[in-house]
Amino acid sequence: MTFTLKNKVLTLIVFLLLFIFDNSFAESLEFPNGNWTQKNPNEVNISEEKVNTLFDLSFADSATQAVVLIKDGYLIGERYAEEFDASSFGTSWSMAKSFYAALIGISIDRDEIGSLDDKVGLYLDYFNDERSEVTIRDLLDMTSGLEYPENEHENMFFLQNQLEYAQQIGMEKEPGTLFEYNNVNSMLLGDILQKATGKMADELLVERIFSKIGINDFTLWRDGAGNVLTYCCIDMSARDYSKFGLLFSRNGNWDGEEIISKDYVDETFTQVWGLTPQWWTDSERGYSLHWWISKNDEEGSIFNASGKYGQYIFVDRKNDIIFTRITKYHPTSGSVQNWGLFNRYNKIKDVDRLINLLRFYVDVGLLDLSKDVETPITLDEGYSKEFYQNYGEIIDLIANLSRD
């Protein structure tokens, strides 16, 4: 046997050993099989005192409905507000952006989409105009340059056909140059996925992610015209939101099966924008591919999905920790938006006025959420205050959970 042949054989043996080791390691990790396996924090080398401090700080805000803490695939702590439990749904609001962005990565893995740097116009003919230079990456990094009003296009939420609205938004700036958190960017993802795969985005989410990781009880919202709301609006329990966080903590692998490629997860968890608008916290936050970056320094790296009223899935991939927090929510029936009599107000551009009007109607009994409307809605009790004020301290607590 020649020296070259020996080297090739040795290389092949090493490769096979690494392959076997990687797969046996993946199979040795804990994954929830239906329900989470529970352990005490000290069984995974985390102080119960730290967990209690994190939970107490979270529940200092009366809007908190639930918190769930996962370490090494084990549920090591959870707490629920009065009248809520482990099966109670919360609504995601913009946490949904991270879910639907994952489908873009899966479509790239399957060669249905060429790359993040494909022009959107390759999939959506109506983008072959002044928007022709916008890429999928631009949409996901919130740098499309599309028109950006003060309300971030949140008024879209009250319309019958929200995709039609998103399709008509024109250019305002050069793409790739400025971070602007624009809901239209995310609403267009569903149209891209439908053109690339022939399936609606909510169907893909169930088929390609939920069915793989054991999420079986959920509501995926569409607008009144039947378009998937890919910028918001997934309802499920805090425990199930945590499964999605674990999928990303485990590099897209679930019990030995690659759901999302590690390359895409790595790229998602690579900071693109270091500073974003400080809307409700003085803490510096970054952004990448529809995920926020809560912390990225020598003390740790924590990424998170984030929703409008304080819903979060925090992921500390290095320490395999997921911390989920949702706010108080009372689901309406259905999964397709129906505003009923409130439709008469959907032309109001002032989103805060619309939301306050809707809440007022509910408070005085003019709207009955159980029968008059079908839509996600967060009432005053679910709007975060203290959690935002304590945000920096909460992030530091998460980052320090695994430290002595």
Residue 74: strand pairing partners: 71
CA distance 328 to 378: 7
pLDDT for residue 12 is more than 60? no
pLDDT at 318 over 90: yes
237: its two tokens:
């329990």
pLDDT digits (tens, 9 = 90+) for 14-34: 455 444 445 544 558 999 988
Of 151-160, 231-240, 284-293, the range with the highest mean pLDDT is 231-240
Average pLDDT over residues 167-191: 96
Mapped onto helix, strand or coil, the DSSP state of residue 6 is: helix
* Residues 169, 146 contacting (CB under 8 angstroms): yes
* Residues comprising the chain, all counted: 404
Encode pLDDT of 92-130 as tens digits: 999 999 999 999 999 999 999 999 999 999 999 999 999
Which residues are bridge partners to 324 per DSSP? 68, 313
Q: How far apart, in whole angstroms, are the C-alpha atoms of residue 105 and residue 265?
A: 8
Residue 60, pLDDT score: 98
Cβ atoms 292, 305 nearer than 8 A:
yes
Output the pTM of the full model.
Answer: 0.91
Alpha carbon distance 70, 202 (integer Å): 26
Per CATH, domain 41-335+374-399 is 3.40.710.10 = yes
Q: Strands 253-254, 234-237: parallel, antiparallel or unpaired by DSSP?
A: unpaired
Q: What is the pLDDT at residue 279? A: 61
* pLDDT mean over 154-165: 94
Confidence of residue 362 (pLDDT cuts 50, 70, 90): confident
Confidence of residue 278 (pLDDT cuts 50, 70, 90): low
Buried b (16+ CB within 10 A) or exposed e, 210-245: bebbbbeebbbbbbbeebbbbbbbbbbbbbbbbbbb
**Alpha-carbon torsion 110, 111, 112, 113, what sign?**
positive
What are the respective helix, strand and coil percentages of the chain, to the nearest 5?
40, 15, 45
Q: How many CA atoms lie within 13 A of 184 on its CB side?
A: 22
Domains of the chain by residue range: 1-30, 41-335+374-399
* Per-residue pLDDT at 162: 97
The region of weakest confidence among 290-294, 352-356, 384-388 is 352-356
Looking at residue 94, its amino acid is S
CB atoms within 10 A of CB 200: 18
* pLDDT > 70: percent of the chain: 91
pLDDT score at 3? 46
Average pLDDT over residues 73-102: 98
Per-residue pLDDT tens for 220-274? 999 999 999 999 999 999 999 999 999 999 999 999 999 999 999 999 999 887 7
278 burial type by CB count under 10 A (0-12 exposed, 13-18 middle, 19+ buried) = exposed
Judged by average pLDDT, the poorest of 52-56, 281-285, 348-352 is 281-285
- Average pLDDT in the chain: 91
Query: How does DSSP classify residue 206?
Result: I
User: Nearest Cα to 158, choosing from 339, 334, 307, 309?
Assistant: 339
How many Å apart are CA 67 and CA 313, to the nearest integer? 10
pLDDT digits (tens, 9 = 90+) for 296-310: 888 889 999 999 999
Helix pair angle (183-197, 95-109), 10° resolution: 30
Residue in 215, 237, 235 with CA at minimum distance from that of residue 376: 235
Question: What mean pLDDT do residues 144-172 have?
Answer: 94
Give burial (CB, 10 Å; 0-12/13-18/19+) of 133: middle
